[in-house]
């Protein structure tokens, strides 16, 4: 079972993608607001708990995150722990939702976790994460001309 579950869903060249929706002008040319935010796959403080997660929980967390980010209104937003297509977050495209909600037209995604099955939490199996596709996303009001995914070497054992 784990041999199958540990295999990737995408090819390595699919781990880096760039999107462009439309351009939004920066209102204040003298200020560039850059923000990083750990999304924690919109799970709130439930990410390591063996509990059922509902659509309403994710919608509530999305509203909270949107409220915070709208107050800051970043030109460039770096997101960590973003689910692109994961069972644990009900296959919700989280970067798309935030990009649309915040009217940030450019997005670059980098996958760092691609597994067919993740057996966590260990019990009960019905609440295990299952299929996992997640990583980082950069949302930008400025065009993203290029980006790449750099995998750092493992430290010696």
User: Domain boundaries in the chain?
Assistant: 2-24+33-140
Give the global pTM. 0.79
Torsion of CA 11, 105, 77, 151, to 10 degrees: 20
Helix (H, G, I), strand (E, B) or coil at 12: helix
Task: State pLDDT tens for residues 58-95.
Answer: 889 899 999 999 999 999 999 999 999 898 888 889 99
- Low pLDDT (below 50) residues in the chain: none
Beta-carbon contacts of 131 under 8 Å, excluding residues fewer than 6 positions away, are: 9, 85, 86, 87, 115, 116, 117, 118
In 3D space, the residue among 63, 7, 28, 23 whose CA is nearest the CA of residue 143 turns out to be 23
Give the per-residue pLDDT at 26.
53
Of all residues in the chain, what percent carry a pLDDT higher than 70? 89
């Amino acid at each position: 079972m784990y041999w199958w579950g540990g295999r990737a869903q995408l090819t390595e060249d699919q781990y880096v993608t760039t999107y462009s929706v439309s351009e939004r002008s920066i209102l204040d040319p003298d200020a560039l607001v850059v923000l990083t935010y750990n999304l924690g796959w919109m799970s709130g403080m439930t990410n390591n708990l063996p509990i059922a997660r509902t659509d309403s929980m994710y919608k509530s967390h999305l509203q909270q995150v949107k409220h915070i980010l709208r107050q800051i209104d970043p030109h460039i937003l770096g997101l960590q722990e973003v689910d692109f297509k994961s069972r644990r977050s009900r296959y919700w495209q989280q970067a798309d939702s935030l990009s649309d909600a915040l009217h940030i037209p450019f997005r670059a995604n980098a996958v760092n976790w691609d597994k067919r099955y993740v057996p966590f939490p260990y019990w009960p199996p019905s609440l295990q994460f299952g299929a996992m596709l997640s990583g980082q996303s950069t949302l930008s009001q400025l065009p993203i001309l290029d980006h790449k995914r750099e995998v750092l070497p493992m430290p010696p054992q």
